[in-house]
Amino acid sequence: MKYQNFPPCQDVDTSIEAARKVLPKRGILQREYFELLRFMGERGATDHEAAHDLKKPLSSICARRNELMARNPPLVRYSGKRRESCNGGTARVWIAAENTEQIALEL
């Protein structure tokens, strides 16, 4: 299901309901995530680290990251680095994109 200004979701009733629930606070969650990445600078954060730091579900962090990456211009980018994750593998490290301060005010 793709609706403009509607959070990403699968076309099943539970996903649609979850997307409706997050819609009113999506901008706040995007800003919290983006501000964390700006604060972390070049160190950035993996999705698991951001979920832990912001005390949010991993699924919420991944969704907000994807939304910010889909903006034009993107507000978040892959740093090219990976770090060990809590599951024993490695995870991508995400950072705030350069020159996005003014755009971020719109979140």
* pLDDT tens digits, one per residue of 27-84: 889 999 999 999 999 999 999 999 999 999 999 999 999 999 998 889 999 999 999 9
Say if strands 76-84 and 90-96 run parallel, antiparallel, or are unpaired. Answer: antiparallel
Rounded to whole angstroms, how far apart are CA atoms 78 and 95? 6
Q: Is the residue at 7 inside a domain?
A: no
pTM: 0.74
Total domains present in the chain: 1
Q: Is the residue at 32 inside a domain?
A: yes
The answer to whether the CB of 67 falls within 8 A of the CB of 5 is no
Q: Output the domain CATH number for residue 77.
A: 1.10.10.10
Tell me the HSE value of 96 on the side-chain side, using a 13 A CA sphere: 19
Which carries the bigger pLDDT value, residue 36 or residue 86? 36
Q: Is the residue at 52 inside a domain?
A: yes
Q: ω before 73 within 30° of 0 (cis)?
A: yes
Name, in order, each residue with C-beta under 8 angstroms of 73's C-beta and a sequence gap of 6 or more: 97, 100, 103
pLDDT band, very low/low/confident/very high, at 3 (cuts 50, 70, 90): very low
Q: Is the residue at 1 inside a domain?
A: no
Which carries the bigger pLDDT value, residue 107 or residue 90? 90
Q: Is the residue at 2 inside a domain?
A: no
Provide the domain limits for residue 93. Answer: 13-104
What DSSP string describes 53-77?
Answer: HHT--HHHHHHHHHHHHHSSS-SEE
